[in-house]
Every structure is written in structure tokens, then in C-alpha cells.
Amino acid sequence: MAATKYTYSISSDFPNQKEDTDRLTQEIADSAIVTALDYIDTAGDDCDIWFVDALSGGDQTTLDTIVANHSGDPLPVVADNYVKSDGETLTTSTSWQTKASFSYTPLYEGDHLITYTALLSCSDTGVFMKTHITVGGTEEASATFDSSNKNHSDGYYTDVSRSVVVSLTDVVTITLEFCSSESGKTTYIKEALVTVLPLG
């Protein structure tokens, strides 16, 4: 076996012209690539991804796809009762996209206050930006905002804050998702925070 390097341009190959090594490492580990990742090194515009051996044609195609879809955002910070994702994430899809997610273990069975906050923006005016949280796959709170007469290029963001009380009895996955109301129109989200507090 011989260590093999695959070099990508951060400005040309990565969609947001940025790379986050921790996120990229996780994306590669979660993929179907068989050959083990050795390490990732960046210098200037180059992102060098080293594997312990040469990739097969199929695995190299998978790596190309991972890079082409890599957001470059830092991984969310996850604690026992909250998840935080500050980096800006975007989508042009009308299907729900995950911004942050974590597994929560209740200290006791009963009501819990779940709150999410974030900043939203859109590439175009007059487009609705949508967010919601799911608890165990069920939508529990949502918010839809009109981009009004300002958009992302103006540096305009809308503050989002929603809370809901949910009865929890066991470990549950809580997820903050977002999407655009109109296909092809970009919705942006950043500084997202989801917290869970037991009541009583």
C-alpha cells in the first residue's frame, strides 16, 4: 500500500469556497469509501486529502461528490441539553434540510420546554423562508417568514425564535430543519441554537 493524495481547490471545487476539516473527515468516515482516510491538510487554496492507499474509481467519484456538497461549516457544538451551529448553511430546496440535530436524554419523564433561535436570510425578496423542529420525527414548532424587501446581498437577516412544551419519556432526537418556499431560491440560516429545559 502507498499513501495517496487527492488535491482539491478550495475556491473552485468546494461550493462555498471554504473547508472544515472536522466536518470533511466525518463526511468521509460516514461515506461508502472503503479505503481508510489518513489525514487532511490545507495550504493556501489547496485541500490535500490523503488516504492510506489509492482509491478505486467508484470511491474517487464518491470523494468528488463529498467535496462538491461540503458546506465548509464547523460541526455543531452538542451538549447534554442543547445543540449550537453558528456557521451559515444554505439550501435552494423546498424539502427540509438539517441545520442541527442532537440526541437528548430526559432527566425525568414529563414536560420539557424546547426552544430554537436562528438568523434567516434569502437570496430574493418576496420568498418565504421556513424553519421547524422535529422531536422524534414529529414536527412540534415551526416558523415561516417573508424575506420582505431586503435580501441576503443586503446583509439582511430575520430573527427566528420559537418554543414548545413537549412531554418526554425516553431518549429522543431533536432536529432543527429549514428550507425555501420556492425551488431555486436560496435560504440561508446561521447562529442556530436549540435548547431543552425540564419543567417542574
- What pLDDT sits at residue 108? 83
Which of 28, 50, 68 is the last residue in one of the domains?
Answer: 68
86 and 52 assigned to the same domain: no
- What pLDDT sits at residue 74? 86
Which of 37, 68, 99 is the last residue in one of the domains?
Answer: 68
103 and 191 assigned to the same domain: yes
pLDDT higher than threshold 70 for residue 150: no
Query: Which residues span the domain enclosing 57?
Result: 4-68
Task: Considering only the C-alpha atoms of the chain, give the largest distance between any 2 of them, rounded to a whole number of Å.
Answer: 60
- Residue 119: Cβ within 10 Å count: 16
82 and 129 assigned to the same domain: yes
Half-sphere exposure in the Cβ direction for 129 (13 Å, CA):
27
154 and 192 assigned to the same domain: yes
Cβ-contact 131, 177 below 8 angstroms:
yes
186 and 148 assigned to the same domain: yes
- What pLDDT sits at residue 170? 92
* Three-state DSSP state, 152: helix
Q: How many folded domains does the chain comprise?
A: 2
Which of 19, 41, 68 is the last residue in one of the domains?
Answer: 68
Q: How confident is the model at residue 200 (pLDDT cuts 50, 70, 90)?
A: low
30 and 96 assigned to the same domain: no
